[in-house]
Structure 1
Amino acid sequence: MHPAPKTFELLPGADASPVILHVPHSARTIPAPVRDDILLEDGALARELDHITDAHTIELAEAAAKAAGVAPWRFVNRMSRLVIDPERFPDEREEMLSVGMGAVYTQTTHRAPLRPAGFDPRPLIERYFHPYAQAMTDAVADRLAVTGRAVVIDVHSYPTARLPYELHGDGPRPPVCLGTDTFHTPPELLAQARAAFARTGDAGIDSPFSGAYVPLEFYGKEPQVTALMVEIRRDTYMSEPGGPAGPGLGRLASALAALVDAVTARPDGGAPS
């Protein structure tokens, strides 16, 4: 019998590093029992995965970790976000429920049905969402205990052209979009990111996507947990929608490594005092 595939993985960095590179949307793996409840035929599912997957961001985070002076930790989702999306709320607070993209998606990127009407998401939330959330909480708590701070850098990508599911996609779509949180993204962290990514092109803020992921246990409560979302426009490093990576990946990995180094070198990590 083959071992069950890992649903997520914490890849250790240097003990002194406060940084966790979080890669939630790079995988395409869907376990067979989950696939059985998805309405799309194989070809349509492959196309949906091309659109919804943040392709090559696992490789981007790995290259950045290798290039950084002090290796960051990496928390990687090994399952497709079509299984569960670990960055959504599992309840009615989630805005993305309006387009069928809460913790368990019921619609595709093009607003077609993904799962049957009346689908019960609770088994998937219990099996996949809660263990992931707890493990990420534990990873942040560990960095906080060891280094006195934790810096979560979310590594994402987004398509050049707006997809129908996007609720706020009518604004600028810069080469790099930096998503911020009013509590957890201090000005110094944002400045460090803008400086690091200046070499790859313009870095915009909160358009077309905003916010930054922080486990709920710390959200709005612990100022020594800081966070930033890095959204990279896909045409800067790959063939869209789901093609191979190009030379831009290396430039972006160097920029991300520069951000990791800048955050690690600053004693307070840009956290508010």
Structure 2
Amino acid sequence: MAASPLLDKPWRELQWGEKEKELQYVKEYKPEIEDIKHLRVLMFGHVGAGKSSFINSVSNVLRGRMSIPALTSATTSDRSFTIKYETYKIQLGRGTSKTFLPLVFNDVMGLEEGNHSGIHASDIKLAMKGHVKEGHKFNPVGPLTKDDFGYNPNPSLNDKVHVLVCVMSANAPEIKDSVLQKMKEVRETASKLDIPQMAMMTHIDAACGEIEKDVKNVYRSKHLQKKMKDFSAAVGIPMNCIFPVKNYSEEINMKNDVDILILSALRKMVDFGDDFIEKHLN
């Protein structure tokens, strides 16, 4: 008899029925320091990892409906869809009651093999320190320098990154050594700056048929657990800082189980970022 692809018990507990509580926690968050208007999350990862799709999915969950704030590629091509440094704000409410969540996302061009394709690790390092201007167009041929128009010489506390998130597709082939090297470079810089780091594993339903059948199998899937452990070992991010998520892509209606996985990752971003702001920017 073939061994089951599922563990008898989930290896991580998740409160599937507490969506409203998690939603309220994220929606009510405000940075305690007056000079900081929002907590800034920087997403990076290999091409096609699903960074922009995650930002879309967060907007869907927090607004309680499908919305389109960040354009994404319709195909998992080998070229990065994101070419500019843009800040994505999450709108809550409509009309006169419209507000923005004090949590913003920055998405950068995907990491690729070679020195003349994808984003340069040095550009991500500059973004972390707040030196990349809004709208700067990334150049795969040459990294941003102090003489470029897109360089911000005097970043404010709001320009700086408060949480770094590495995004990895569970369905992608093994990451090439040159891309792993770039990821490590970025992580080392974040460590020196004391910026908290976490990782997200996307496309979990495409990677595992049991998760595709039922998202609640996420922490029982032997295949996904191994993928996460391998990724943790390769990139050096601890398992308790890696979160599997399913982005909204084909659905036209919201699903509670998908939402709770996204909120689980989002809550950690808020907590990690808030701790950083409290400790280093106060």
TM-score, normalising length: structure 2: 0.36
